[in-house]
């Protein structure tokens, strides 16, 4: 966590992005590091955790990180929590809280609040469309012999 905190400070001082950094660790060894690169790379998904997860998966040549731990300088936002669950981490260590992030102007807490609202009551309208047609690909997936499940 000391290393992650140092990286988060460097990221602010270098004006490379938000005050966030994350490390993927396996058996006590650092597999990958990430810092927030949203504004530097024009990628709203380039949060520290997502950057570290992508790099770790490339390093380990695996789309799952089930035997890894994540050290992140802030409680992950819903996007990063989703990425963490998809990568199937064993454990997460975090520094700052979502409330700390809200206090300095980041939307993490707002997004958590939005995700529990009914789809029709959210700030970004969500409109159902053509479900019957969309289901065809799901039926095809179920019977595909070539699929790789994840």
CB of 30 to a copy of itself, least distance (A): 16
**Site for a copy of itself contains 30 (CB under 8 A):** no
**Site for a copy of itself contains 63 (CB under 8 A):** yes
Q: Which helix (H) or strand (E) holds 30?
A: strand 29-35
Give dist(CA 98, CA 108) in Å, integer. Answer: 6
Which residues are known to be catalytic? 49
**Site for a copy of itself contains 86 (CB under 8 A):** yes
Give dist(CA 10, CA 106) in Å, integer. Answer: 19
Residue pair 70/57 in contact (Cβ under 8 Å)? The answer is no
Among 27, 28, 29, 44, binds a copy of itself (CB under 8 A): 44
**Site for a copy of itself contains 90 (CB under 8 A):** yes
- Are β-strands 29-35 and 21-26 bridged in parallel, bridged antiparallel, or unpaired? antiparallel
CB of 59 to a copy of itself, least distance (A): 10
**Site for a copy of itself contains 109 (CB under 8 A):** no
**Site for a copy of itself contains 26 (CB under 8 A):** no
Give dist(CA 17, CA 10) in Å, integer. Answer: 10
- Judged on CB neighbours under 10 Å (0-12, 13-18, 19+), 70 is buried
CB of 64 to a copy of itself, least distance (A): 7
CB of 29 to a copy of itself, least distance (A): 18
**Site for a copy of itself contains 99 (CB under 8 A):** no
């Amino acid at each position: 966590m000391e290393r992650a905190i140092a990286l988060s400070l460097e990221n602010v001082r270098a004006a490379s992005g938000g005050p966030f950094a994350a490390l993927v660790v396996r058996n006590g060894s650092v597999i990958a590091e990430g810092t927030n690169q949203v504004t530097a790379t024009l990628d709203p998904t380039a949060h520290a955790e997502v950057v570290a997860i992508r790099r770790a998966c490339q390093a380990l040549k695996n789309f799952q990180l089930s035997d890894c731990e994540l050290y992140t300088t802030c409680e992950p936002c819903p996007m990063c929590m989703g990425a963490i669950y998809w990568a199937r981490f064993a454990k997460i260590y975090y520094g700052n809280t979502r409330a700390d992030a809200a206090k300095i102007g980041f939307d993490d807490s707002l997004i958590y609040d939005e995700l529990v609202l009914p789809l029709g009551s959210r700030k970004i309208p969500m409109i159902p469309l053509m479900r019957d047609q969309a289901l065809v690909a799901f039926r095809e997936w179920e019977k595909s012999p070539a699929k790789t499940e994840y």
